[in-house]
Structure 1
Amino acid sequence: MTGPEAVTVGETMVVLSPVDAALEHADRVRLGVGGAESNVAVGLAGLGHRVAWVSRVGDDPFGRMVAREVADAGVDVDLVAVDPAAPTGVYFKDPRPDATGVHYYRAGSAASRLGPEALDDPRLAGARLLHLSGVTPALSESCRALVSHAVDGRPLGDALVSFDVNHRPRLWPADRAADLLRDLADRADVVFVGLDEAERLWGSTDPQAVRRLLPHPQVVVVKDGAVGATALPRAGPGVFVPALRAPVVEPVGAGDAFAAGYLSGLLRGLGPTAALRCGHLVAVRALAVPGDCAPSPDRRDLDAAVALPPDRWAALDLVAAGLVDPAPADGGSAVPAAAGAVAGGLDAVAVGAGAAGSGTAGAGVAGSAVVETGWAGTENGRSGR
């Protein structure tokens, strides 16, 4: 049997979203699944890559649902362990006129028991890419050891190690997370970070400053909200790709889609400009639908848009190109696609003046923020209340 081309590792939870009401008034909820690393896995699988997701779920209906949904998206879940003693994490979305609240219930979850041994499986041999995020080391000491093992021990041999900083303030505040996230990022090969996130963590105010803080990765991708994204190699000039405009229904998961698109470009041998364009184009699909994941764009449509000259890229009509549906079902408006592409998961993303980057609490898409509360699930199980 052919092994995976790419591997992601991290927690995925069941998502409960109220139907046609704020959470406190809802009498119906819609169930789904969401997690930064499995979102990337699903995105890569949708783009034609062989992907395995490594995680841990509870021996409960939610755990079975998570594994089934990720598998149904074309991802190999054979290395998802079932924990007989710890539950699958859950979170609730709470849509509001000015924000989308996200309430976590993940303390002591099965995934918080992941450890370094999760990656020491011969079935992962030969993978070309290992993707992780800054969410995982915030979950527990064993999860922190897992990520350190990935970037230091290189359990997958020559595989590129990709790390999305993805700082979640509710899991650990910036003063606790800054040094460790910088250290982990600097030991990876490919790094994703939002510019405002880098400023909050490390005081960096431009992409070049971020690159100076992280001198060792092969490439650092800095996402700057409505402006665009810059890929800065270890040597030579950076490459900037400006934002597009896209309908936005919900920003959650768009940053993971951006990472999936960019990493797909790397796996396909595309250059930096084309890889960044892939990131933006896959992200706009996630922006245009509710939920954490969206169907990947048709490869022919994607490749045609990636190949456009700069002037046509800047004026790209995403609907005419077949990359998004004509109008969001719930009336979302057109905003710069790069703003969604920096969402990085469950915190927030901003559009327009002062636009945000990856994982920034208190920002918003077209005035709609994503705000985290609940039992966040750090090692003491009490962070994020």
Structure 2
Amino acid sequence: MSGPVAVGRAAATADVVCLGESMVTFLPSQPGRLADVPSFGRAIGGAESNVACALAAAGHRAKWVGRVGADGFGDHLVDAIAAYGVDTSAVRRDPGRPTGIYFRTAADRATGTHEVAYYRAGSAASAMSPENVPYEDLLDARILHLTGITAALSADCLSLLRSLTGPRPDRPLISFDVNHRPHLWRAGDEGPGVLLDLARRADLVFVGEDEAEEAWGLRGADAIREALPEPAVLVVKQGSEGATVFSARRPEPRTGDPGSAPATSDTVTTVPALRVDVVAAVGAGDAFAAGFLSATLRELSVRDRVRHGHLMAAAVLTVPGDLTDPPARAHADELVALDDAAWGRLRLGPGWTAADRAGIDRSPAPQEVHPT
């Protein structure tokens, strides 16, 4: 193994399987309150399918597993996700429950003016359970990617995630994005505690510094690692500052038992974020995870894994929706290989993913990358 955590067998059918709910998203035709927006454009959204689409667009064998209604919105989701090159053969149709949808404003999620209206209660995806999601659809992969959103959808969904993250001899590397969404948890649920338990059972964990403080009252990357000593790789996202990765010095992923093989020492890697001319701050976390997983599959260094995550996030941040085509691999690799000074001078704007290698400027002055 050349990286900080080993991925599953190369002979697996899929490089990454992503399990979770995808929904039809309605994007506003203009800024403003939902009450004032006159019309919406249709798109797709869903943390796990976003990751699958980005990985497939980057050339990996990605598979999305989920449930949608036997309705037109379900047809659209399956077709749109498959158009990115994602294997959707394991998606189940539910004739008795609808496909989830949601509407959102154009404002940044971090602002007080951002609104989201979800219509996902009782959706087809909320009925996923250990009984109706065949494990053969999930385990024949090098990496199984899960998020805390699925755990919040229903008690059955939580049971499914607990089963998949439990000890089993055939489990692939488990990637888990905490994705704390307080509004999704039902009254009386211990959402933060559930998320902490699931994260401790995973091999690779993504968590934002801000969401760790909101969910668990933890401040700073070191405190988060102290609360999550088990994952072989812990990625703490620090917004515009960058990301810090704790890589445990263990040879192989664990069995899924939170009490097994606690980390005794770490390699700590901090990688600054890029300067980006943001168009819409949606989907960046999913894109970051996809970039990191892509580089993990390629067994690149930890620094390069984070840089690929930043570049994938920058691609999404410079478009209005949750998804976009990633930069060509050769272009991304060249940017990732820049020295620290040149990396720090990068500034990425809309259309930068179309820039070819001739558009990379290594001069001492701040640089922008735009289409040529």
- Shorter-chain TM range is 0.7 to 0.9
TM-aligned CA distance change 1:154 to 1:120, over 3 Å: farther
The residue that corresponds to 1:165 in the other structure is: 178
Q: Distance in 1 between matches of 2:192 and 2:354?
A: 37
Q: Deviations along 1:16-65, whole A, 9 cap, x unmatched? A: 12213543233322001100000000111111100110000001100111
Q: Distance in 2 between matches of 1:108 and 1:320?
A: 38
| Equivalent of 1:193 in 190, 202, 207 | 207
TM-aligned CA distance change 1:9 to 1:230, over 3 Å: same
Q: Secondary structure in 1 aligned to 2:66?
A: strand
Q: Is the 8 A contact 2:106 2:280 kept in 1?
A: no
Q: Distance in 2 between matches of 1:314 and 1:224?
A: 16
Q: Distance in 2 between matches of 1:8 and 1:118?
A: 16
Cα distance, 1:135 vs structure 2: 0.4
Q: Superposition pairs for residues 200-239 of structure 1, below 5 Å?
A: 200-234=214-248, 235-239=265-269
1:50 and 2:61 equivalent? yes
TM-aligned CA distance change 1:24 to 1:266, over 3 Å: same
The residue that corresponds to 2:344 in the other structure is: 314
Cα distance, 1:209 vs structure 2: 1.1
The residue that corresponds to 1:282 in the other structure is: 312
The residue that corresponds to 1:344 in the other structure is: none
| Equivalent of 1:5 in 2, 9, 15 | 15
TM-aligned CA distance change 1:237 to 1:125, over 3 Å: closer
Q: Is the 8 A contact 1:222 1:229 kept in 2?
A: yes
The residue that corresponds to 2:89 in the other structure is: 78
Q: Secondary structure in 2 aligned to 1:53?
A: strand
Q: Distance in 2 between matches of 1:149 and 1:78?
A: 22
Cα distance, 1:270 vs structure 2: 0.6
Q: Deviations along 1:314-351, whole A, 9 cap, x unmatched? A: 112435994378xxxxxxxxxxxxxxxxxxxxxxxxxx
Q: Secondary structure in 2 aligned to 1:166?
A: coil
Which runs of 5 or more residues in structure 2 are unaligned? Answer: 1-10, 249-264, 356-372
The residue that corresponds to 2:43 in the other structure is: 32
Q: Distance in 2 between matches of 1:143 and 1:311?
A: 45
Q: Is the 8 A contact 1:115 1:142 kept in 2?
A: yes
Cα distance, 1:168 vs structure 2: 0.3
Q: Secondary structure in 1 aligned to 2:279?
A: coil
1:69 and 2:83 equivalent? no
Q: Distance in 1 between matches of 2:133 and 2:308?
A: 28
Q: Distance in 1 between matches of 2:232 and 2:134?
A: 24
User: TM-score when scaled to structure 2?
Assistant: 0.82
- Between Structure 1 and Structure 2, whose CA radius of gyration is higher? 2
Q: Distance in 1 between matches of 2:346 and 2:179?
A: 29
RCO (CA 8 Å, sep 6+): is it higher in 1 or 2?
A: 1
Q: Distance in 2 between matches of 1:48 and 1:268?
A: 11
Which runs of 5 or more residues in structure 1 are unaligned? Answer: 326-385
The residue that corresponds to 1:17 in the other structure is: 27
Q: Distance in 2 between matches of 1:271 and 1:221?
A: 14
Q: Is the 8 A contact 2:64 2:87 kept in 1?
A: yes
Q: Distance in 1 between matches of 2:274 and 2:131?
A: 41
Cα distance, 1:122 vs structure 2: 3.1
After TM superposition, the structure 1 stretch with the greater mean CA deviation from structure 2, 116-125 or 233-242, is 116-125
Number of residue pairs the alignment of both structures matches? 325
Q: Distance in 2 between matches of 1:143 and 1:44?
A: 24
Q: Distance in 1 between matches of 2:282 and 2:61?
A: 24
Q: Secondary structure in 2 aligned to 1:201?
A: helix
Q: Distance in 2 between matches of 1:116 and 1:18?
A: 37
Q: Is the 8 A contact 1:134 1:166 kept in 2?
A: yes
Q: Distance in 2 between matches of 1:306 and 1:269?
A: 14
Q: Deviations along 1:259-292, whole A, 9 cap, x unmatched? A: 0000111111011100000000000010011111
TM-aligned CA distance change 1:96 to 1:131, over 3 Å: closer
Q: Is the 8 A contact 1:162 1:190 kept in 2?
A: yes
TM-aligned CA distance change 1:227 to 1:175, over 3 Å: farther
Q: Is the 8 A contact 1:175 1:201 kept in 2?
A: no
Structural RMSD (CA): 2.3
Q: Secondary structure in 2 aligned to 1:120?
A: coil
Amino acid of the residue matched to residue 127 of structure 1?
A: A
Amino acid of the residue matched to residue 18 of structure 2?
A: T
Q: Is the 8 A contact 2:65 2:137 kept in 1?
A: no
Amino acid of the residue matched to residue 43 of structure 1?
A: A
Cα distance, 1:2 vs structure 2: 7.5
TM-aligned CA distance change 1:2 to 1:162, over 3 Å: closer
TM-aligned CA distance change 1:324 to 1:197, over 3 Å: farther
TM-aligned CA distance change 1:127 to 1:2, over 3 Å: closer
